Amino acid sequence: MEAINLIANQDIVLNNVSSRVPISINGSIPMFWRPPSPHVLKINIDASFISASEFAGIGILIRDYAGHFRKAKCVQIRSGSSEQAEGLAILVAVEWAKELKLSRVSFESDAKNLIDYINSGKGGIEWSSRTILDDSKFLSSFFDSVDFIYTHRDTNRTADILARAARLSNDGSASFDYPPYIIFDVLTSDENGIVNFPNNGNHIVASNFSL
């Protein structure tokens, strides 16, 4: 399905997207999307939520250690809260990775409380979110290697765009084997940013494993 058929209004989706220029916080080193280790696929996750009376959206993006696009998914859901939507986004991503028979994965989300709960079992989150995350943790045991990482929202822009696209969609949900054009600029920025990591040669050789 073409991206133009997925979303109701591309201008709305792209409105207020962070600058394509790498972000610097308080004059510190610019923030870039951080690639996974070789032979690991990174899965960025986000949710877009307005209110319980409206559809929410989930955005999922799979990339390799060279920053190359592998797959993406937009899912439209119902959710009672922003936190619950973020939790469902994690669960859907884990389920999808298992469905794709991935073995070494790294899930990345900007929902810090939820990532903290998955990693430590602690955190002041809603009971409904706990149930969702417990299911995610159980399913994650089927992977050979897995971790859950918190990232700043400004380095999770691609998943954010996909999540908003899902929320505004006329068609519900869609999967992509090729990158939809609405994330081209951010994908390019993220991939170019890989060279800025110290002692990182991951960008030199493209990964040679497939989904």
Cα–Cα distances (Å) from 49 to 70, 99, 104, 163, 164, in that order, read: 26, 25, 29, 9, 8
In terms of pTM, does the model score above 0.75? yes
Q: Are 197 and 32 in contact (CB under 8 A)?
A: yes
Q: Are 63 and 193 in contact (CB under 8 A)?
A: no
The tokens for 137 are 């943790």
Tell me the HSE value of 131 on the side-chain side, using a 13 A CA sphere: 5
- Domains in the chain, number: 1
The predicted structure's pLDDT at residue 25: 42
Q: Are 65 and 37 in contact (CB under 8 A)?
A: yes
Please tell me the least confidently modeled range out of 100-109, 136-145, 193-202.
193-202
Which SS3 state, helix, strand or coil, does residue 8 take?
A: coil
Determine, yes or no, domain membership for 200: no
CATH of residue 114 = 3.30.420.10
Enclosing domain of residue 73: 41-194
- How many Å from the N-terminal Cα to the C-terminal Cα in the chain? 19
Please give the Cα distance from 43 to 153 (Å, whole number). 14
Determine, yes or no, domain membership for 122: yes
Determine, yes or no, domain membership for 211: no
The neighbour count for residue 63, using CB atoms within 10 Å, is: 25
The residue among 137 and 30 whose pLDDT is bigger is: 137
Determine, yes or no, domain membership for 23: no
Confidence of residue 197 (pLDDT cuts 50, 70, 90): low
Amino acid identity of residue 13, one-letter, is V
60 beta partners:
45, 73
Determine, yes or no, domain membership for 203: no
The predicted structure's pLDDT at residue 36: 96
Conformational region of residue 174, where left means phi above 0, alpha means psi within -120 to 50, and beta covers everything else: beta
| pLDDT tens-digit map of 127-184 | 999 999 999 999 999 999 999 999 999 999 999 999 999 999 987 899 999 999 999 9
Determine, yes or no, domain membership for 33: no
